[in-house]
A and B are shown apart, each in its own frame.
Chain A
Amino acid sequence: MADTAAPANGFALAETIDRFRRSSEFVVIPVLALIASGLLFSIFLLLVGKSPVEFFSLVWRGGFGTAFSWQNTLVRASPLILTALCVAIPARLGMTVIGGEGALVLGGFAAAAIAIPMTSWASPFVVMPVMFLAAAIAGAFWIGAVGWLRHYRGINETISSLLLFYIAVSILNFFVEGALRDPSDPNKPSTAPIGAENMIGPIPGTSVHWGLAAGIVACILVWILMNRTTFGFAARVTGGNVRAAQGQGLPVGRLVVISCALAGACAGLAGYFEVAAIHGKANASLIAGYGFTGILVSFLARHNPLAIVPVAILLGGIAASGGLVQRRMDLPDATVLVLQGLMFVVLLVSETMYGRLAIFKPKGA
């Protein structure tokens, strides 16, 4: 075929290839990084005398190999998608917010706290949206405050969001072990149940709850906001260079606070789904580390909202298979954390490769 192609077609093809070279860089490098971390992890496994082949085949089987495994994976991925957005949105403005867990905890708590007095008189059609909003507002307020402190008081957002997480946990414990404690359960301090009628069921035909759908929708909306609106453009300019953005007259303070509030709302919603789809009440089980795993997801996705979904599914699958790996290979639970840590480090290192590999450079016609 190549022999018969006319020169003009050859140029068009070369142009296509050039375009492909540039866009493929953002897929090929992370994939290679994942493979590299898998190889490094295999060395680790060999050092402790375990078979990497068995490990990865178990990860496949436990995370993706059967219909049940897929549901298991998606259930675990759901909260990670929303908490990853809590990192990804502020990251577009050049901020590193790591306290999404606090917004999740408070969002879940707010949803339960507002539902409990309403259960006796309001219909689920009222209670459910009110819970949803309460969780989003609580999360938005919490991380919005981080943005406000950053812009108007110059307080580092990474530190403040982390410290606010501890305050959020204290607020939860204060109410759950005090005023809002359900006295019928003497041994696990929890709020009263929100009632089965106010809970949202699974997506029909699966055991996956609606948090997955909400997360995917949120990712698409955030992508549109950040890439197809003037707000998103202004946010990205601010992330590129704050002084330039201010010089252009962009409302930097408002952009920072609104973006942080949106981020917090996403994490707050993750808390809502924990309460309304899983626990049916608020208690210390909300503090499960989803907010912190979300940081990993967002960084692996390079803060791209659309990439968050597959990355969350990948990490959800690794988490889902963790149990099978433990059971079959007699490895400690921390093994999967070693894999996650290696992936994180290798991906961060691979960040330095962008624009440096000749294969991705346009050759020109």
Chain B
Amino acid sequence: MFTRKFDRRTILKGAGIGALGLSTGLSSILPARAAGLTIGILYVGPRDDFGWNQAHAVAAAALKQVPDVTVIEEENVPETISVAQSMESMINLDGASLIFATSFGYYKPFVLDMAAKFPDVKFRHAAPLWTEGDPANAGSYFGYLDQAHYVDGIAAGLSTTTNKLGFVAAKPIGTVLRNINSFAIGVKKVNPAATVQVIFTGEWSMPVREAEAANALIDAGCDVLTCHVDGPKVVIETAEGRGVKTCGHNASQAPLAPKGFITGAEYKWETIYKDYAAKVAAGEDLPNFIGGGFDKDFVQSTPYGAGASPEAIAAADAAREEVKAGKPIFVGPVKKQDGTDLVAAGASLDNYDPALDQTDYLIEGVVGSIT
């Protein structure tokens, strides 16, 4: 009996020593991080969502090609204390000195807290939120995608035969409403008889409701669909399956709709990311806020798909060049849904007019309610 006990003890001892040796041995083989600039990027969802996160991931992949730049990525980071912990982990364990926080809810309080805690690290956030008084090492960058949605609208307005277009939208908030309005202005410009019907799903990502909304719009007679949800995959595939044409959003969905894809509104974060990396490498300061559209190459149109007719392509190309040159999208008369003037006849709103950031209305010609 005692012999057995000693045996067990010896085995346990041996196992303990072995484990100890193993763990110390392991800690020495951990890879050291590369010299040069380390950039950390955080995504709120999966990197291959055919949407918002993929648009950033595509840019991150391009950034990896820049010499002396190491890109570290983390996906599915929720807008909770996790994001603060992940940023801190990138800084502490990986030596990141520039952080791209790509989800709206990361900014307050997490980016602000971390920027105050790590004054030597630069933080940039993908939404126009930075204001005077926020930490100087924090900042915002943003692409005005409504310009690309306007171009989509031009192409879509020339592609409909029923004069009904459908828009599946996530939440009735400023950016989303602005994209819907710009799309509708594009549609009405080339096809005044057409209407844009909107259904809000209420969530950024709710595939079941997105499919229901797409089907409902098609049942209601819409023959061109577009959307503003985090991952447009479901909407585009549903429409393609039912033989309806589509315009994309956020990233390229062209592979999902080989027959009916017209074009899409895409971000081009790559322009911003590479610019930041170059500035940091040159020892320059980063601006606290930058924003732009076609003019600065921050947004782009997805290459035309099989669904685009020659006249739609010509009109969309022309519209894009006009916007790039600074021609306003909101040219009067534009009325809100309630009949009041948004832009009076003869007047216009600049494409970067701050009033558009506060959009809380839909324009006339859009069918659907915010509430």
Contacts and interface: CB of A to CB of B under 8 A. Distances in A.
A280 interface: yes
A189 B171 contact: yes
A288 B89 CA distance: 20
Interface in A278-325: 278-280, 283, 285, 288-289, 319-320, 323-324
A62 interface: yes
Contacts of B79: 285
Nearest to B76: A333
Nearest to B109: A280
B30 A68 contact: no
A30 B328 CA distance: 67
Interface residues of A, number: 42
Q: Which 10 A-B pairs have the closest CB atoms?
A: A57-B26, A333-B76, A2-B2, A186-B174, A327-B72, A288-B80, A285-B79, A323-B74, A68-B92, A323-B86
Q: Is the interface of A mostly helix, strand, loop or mixed?
A: helix
Contacts of A326: 73-75
Nearest to A65: B27
A134 interface: no
14 contacts: A14-B1, A60-B23, A66-B92, A69-B93, A186-B357, A188-B105, A207-B88, A279-B109, A285-B105, A320-B85, A323-B85, A324-B89, A327-B73, A333-B75
Interface of A: 2, 14, 17, 53, 56-58, 60-62, 65-66, 68-69, 72, 75-76, 173, 177, 186-189, 207, 274, 278-280, 283, 285, 288-289, 319-320, 323-324, 326-328, 332-334
Q: Could you say which of B76, B89, B105 has the most chain A C-beta atoms within 10 Å of its C-beta?
A: B89
Interface residues of B, number: 45
Given A57-B29, A60-B23, 10 more contacts: A14-B1, A57-B26, A58-B30, A61-B93, A72-B89, A187-B127, A278-B80, A285-B78, A323-B90, A334-B76
A326 B75 CA distance: 8
B292 interface: no
A239 to B, nearest CB: 33
Given A186-B173, A187-B127, A189-B173, A68 B93 contact: yes
A79 to B, nearest CB: 9
Contacts of A187: 104, 127, 173-175
Interface in B13-55: 23, 26-27, 29-31, 40, 46
A57 B81 CA distance: 24
A55 to B, nearest CB: 11
Contact of A173 (B46, B88, B92, B202): B202
Nearest to A17: B5
B104 A274 contact: no
B27 A323 contact: no
Contacts of B30: 57-58, 61
Contacts of B92: 66, 68
Nearest to B72: A327
A178 B90 CA distance: 37
B161 interface: no
A327 B171 contact: no
